[in-house]
Copies of this chain bind each other. A is one copy, B any other.
Amino acid sequence: MTYVIKIGGAVVDSPLLLNDVLDRCAALGRPFILVHGGGKVATKLAADLGVEQTMVDGRRVTDAETLRVVTMAYAGLINKNVVAQLQARGVQCIGMTGADADLVRAHKRNHPTIDFGFVGDVDAVNTDVLELLLANGISVVVAPLTHDGKGSLLNTNADTMAAGIAMAMDAGAMIQLRFIYEHHGVLRDINDPTSVIGVITASDVDGLIADGMISKGMVPKISNAVEAAKVGINVRIQHTSALGTEEGTLVQ
């Protein structure tokens, strides 16, 4: 059994939540794959550097300057601090982007109407290197960047990378995919923390979007979760405090 854990930008940005989830990662007692976001850190760095940001449907348009910003924020600041903090908890781990060991290869998104810039859609995951590292007791911390094999890094959604890695590794690996964030599951009412939806199935999704229970960044998250669940992966959307438990929302 291998956990593929995705932590979002709000978790990365909160020392309290980040420490909590890293403690729980360490307590798993087995090598894992941790994919992190970091949009808030990137947004602040872009502002500090005077690099203007454009968002379309909750996705960042990534021009050359913004690619520099997210590479510094995701692969540098966040990834290496998470690695150092896991090492301090006795977790042997290595931080990677999709370019490292050719972990996730992608192509620049070809959108009919919007030029997203240096944004990558996933083509292939190098599961051999993941198996090599995990078999040698080394956990992997993944920053949400891919590469095109021609020398360019590409900005890629962290939920999509986590789901893509989980699906690529699935065969016989008993993957547990966890989307960890600041809420206790998918909520019927965003203002009521007790309104967790216990189970979401693919057929529920359109209705939840129509009712406004799933909106903004939750739409691609749920879509990635459902896609992974369809191939039989155990998928849960949980609060940091629930990692390792069966709490939160089961997606199937």
Enumerate chain A interface residues (CB-CB to B < 8 A): 45, 48-49, 68, 71-77, 79-81, 83-85, 87-88, 92-97, 99-102, 129, 132, 136, 138, 145, 147, 149-153
CB of A208 to closest CB in B, whole Å:
37
Residue contact A68 to B77, C-beta cutoff 8 Å: yes
CB of A16 to closest CB in B, whole Å:
15
Task: Please give, as numbers and ranges, the residues of chain B lying within 8 Å of A48 by CB-CB distance.
Answer: 49
Residue contact A153 to B94, C-beta cutoff 8 Å: no
Q: For the complex formed by this chain, how many copies does it contain in all?
A: 2
CA distance A132 to B133 in the complex (A): 9
Interface centre among A45, A77, A88, A94 (most CB of B within 10 A): A94
Task: Please give, as numbers and ranges, the residues of chain B lying within 8 Å of A93 by CB-CB distance.
Answer: 100-101
CA distance A97 to B92 in the complex (A): 13
Residue contact B149 to A88, C-beta cutoff 8 Å: yes
Residue contact B83 to A94, C-beta cutoff 8 Å: no
Partner of A80, one of B49, B88, B145: B145
Residue contact B151 to A88, C-beta cutoff 8 Å: yes
Known A-B contacts A100-B94, A101-B93, A149-B88; A77 and B83 likewise in contact (beta carbons under 8 Å): no
